[in-house]
Structure 1
């Protein structure tokens, strides 16, 4: 039962952060900057923080559940990513849609690798 509470609390924080970033970084010319930002930040946090928690902190798996499933799960959003892509395509902004797809996929992988690299550099 405690696992669910930790996930719910962290999801509340992650969802609130996602909303705030969406307000702070509104779409510019139809390009969904806020969604891109939260997804890239989520990739970094998930790879660095969760790895750090799992390997360096002697704590229960609840914190990993909270940060990984709760916070990062509520912060990042595949549904908004898909919807934003379709909106760009339907508005005949194919170039922006393609740019958004590339930045999301390549950027997400790059942020994940960056999180790993920072973790390993600090651990060394």
Structure 2
């Protein structure tokens, strides 16, 4: 793996992060349109979808980069650190879990946390497995 110069690395991460953040925002809008404002105010469906999809994509990317070997640092920075880092929302997950707890919805918070972590890890493992099968 080659090391990308710091200025170029920063540019890759910034470009990917901007695209990932916009994609995350649009996913929230799509989920609100699809499920309705009432549904998304009761349960954080958009964050769950983004984190699950992002974990799957990270697994696919990790498998792809392992298969490529060599000169992949720029792809890791652009897509892994930047795009998927801007797209996934663990900080939003944490906030929403805490808000559910503060509203006295501890059971719903626990379900949300378990589903988020379970689907995230499962998506990542599935993505790596799919990427390895293609090798």
Whether TM exceeds 0.5 here: the answer is yes
Larger CA Rg, structure 1 vs 2 = 2
Q: TM-score, normalised by structure 2?
A: 0.83
2:90 counterpart of 1:78: yes
- The Cα of 1:33 is off from its aligned counterpart by 0.5
Q: 1:23 maps to which residue?
A: 29
1:100 aligns with 2:105: no
Instruction: Quote the Cα distance in structure 2 between the aligned partners of 1:11 and 1:19.
Output: 12
1:3 to 9, 15, 19: 9
Q: Give the structure 2 partner of residue 45 of structure 1.
A: 57
Q: 1:60 to 1:121 in 2, by over 3 A?
A: closer
Deviation per CA, 1:62-95: give whole Å up to 9, x if none: 1111111101111111211111001111222222
| Structure 2 gap segments, 5+ residues each | 1-6
The 1-side partners of 2:93 and 2:72 are apart by 32
For 1:5 and 1:104, locate their aligned partners in 2 and report how far apart those are by CA, in whole Å: 30
In structure 2, the residue matched to 1:12 is 18
TM-score by structure 1 length? Answer: 0.90
Q: Considering only aligned residues, what root-mean-square deviation do their CA atoms show, in Å?
A: 1.7
**CA distance in 2: counterparts of 1:94 and 1:5, whole angstroms:** 41
Q: Which moved more, 1:87-96 or 1:14-23?
A: 87-96
Seen in structure 2, the aligned counterparts of structure 1 residues 64 and 54 have a Cα distance that, compared at 3 Å, is: farther
Q: Name the CA shift for 1:65/1:47 in 2 (closer, same or farther; >3 Å).
A: same
Q: Is the 8 A contact 1:30 1:88 kept in 2?
A: no
1:118 aligns with 2:106: no
